[in-house]
Structure 1
């Protein structure tokens, strides 16, 4: 693993964009596309199964959500195609300050980034990156649940 991969896949705040459900080249998108492809034509069987297994009545909604995941197009927080729902000051601030991560800023932790528990986690993530290094942090994050 090289530092470039970690820098490209981690957001400015320290979240791993590559493991996000909306990431265009992420595992969730790729697996969803594969499952969507494998289930083509299953609608008829799902209707029959719904007679005895009520969960299958929700199959059309499942397919809709699966197809959403299969078509995600976010390129990550450091790209021009950001689709992250978090209201994050760091997405624009990083460009102004020419940094990759918040902990690299002289004003970290600034007052503009997040509130409450989200702010606490943001500070913890950035302090951890600073302490163990970006590469080690990225490897560590890959071993944890994303959500």
Structure 2
């Protein structure tokens, strides 16, 4: 795993873009598209299946959610499309000329725009990246759930 791989996979804050539910070429969008393909026309049968198992009565909501996830409407934070509307990290790292927050002399700071939960997560991720490098952090977290 190279530094460039880590920059591609991780947002400047340390969150995994490649595992984000909104990433257009991410695993969640890809698996959702495949699930939709495999379930093509199943909506015609869901009501009958609901007679065997009531969970299938929720199929329309499941289908709506799967269609939403399959859209993958984000190109990633480094493309300037952070889904956290208050996020100031992308513009800050650009202005500071760094790839990740921990590389900034002012880290940790309060210029993230994050809520307290995400602020704590951001700091923890960046402290770990400072210890093991972005490549090490990426290797440690690539197979862990993002959420």
Task: Please indicate the TM-score interval, normalised by the length of the shorter structure.
Answer: over 0.9
Residue 13 (structure 2) aligns with? 13
Deviations 1:20-52 (A, max 9, x none): 111111111111100101100101111111123
Residue 100 (structure 1) aligns with? 99
Alpha-carbon distance between aligned partners in 2 of 1:140 and 1:127, rounded to the nearest angstrom:
14
Alpha-carbon distance between aligned partners in 2 of 1:130 and 1:86, rounded to the nearest angstrom:
26
Give the direction of change, closer, same or farther, for the CA distance of 1:124–1:83 in structure 2 (3 Å limit).
closer
Alpha-carbon distance between aligned partners in 2 of 1:104 and 1:139, rounded to the nearest angstrom:
19
Identify unmatched segments of 5+ residues in structure 2.
Answer: none
After TM superposition, which residue ranges in structure 1, 4 or more long, deviate above 4 angstroms? none
Give the direction of change, closer, same or farther, for the CA distance of 1:115–1:64 in structure 2 (3 Å limit).
closer
Contact kept in structure 2, 1:22 and 1:83, CA below 8 Å: no
Residue 123 (structure 2) aligns with? 123
Residue 66 (structure 1) aligns with? 66
Alpha-carbon distance between aligned partners in 1 of 2:126 and 2:85, rounded to the nearest angstrom:
17
- Give the length in aligned residue pairs: 146
Identify unmatched segments of 5+ residues in structure 1.
Answer: none
* TM-score normalised per structure 2: 0.92
Alpha-carbon distance between aligned partners in 2 of 1:115 and 1:61, rounded to the nearest angstrom:
29
Alpha-carbon distance between aligned partners in 1 of 2:44 and 2:90, rounded to the nearest angstrom:
45
Alpha-carbon distance between aligned partners in 2 of 1:79 and 1:5, rounded to the nearest angstrom:
15
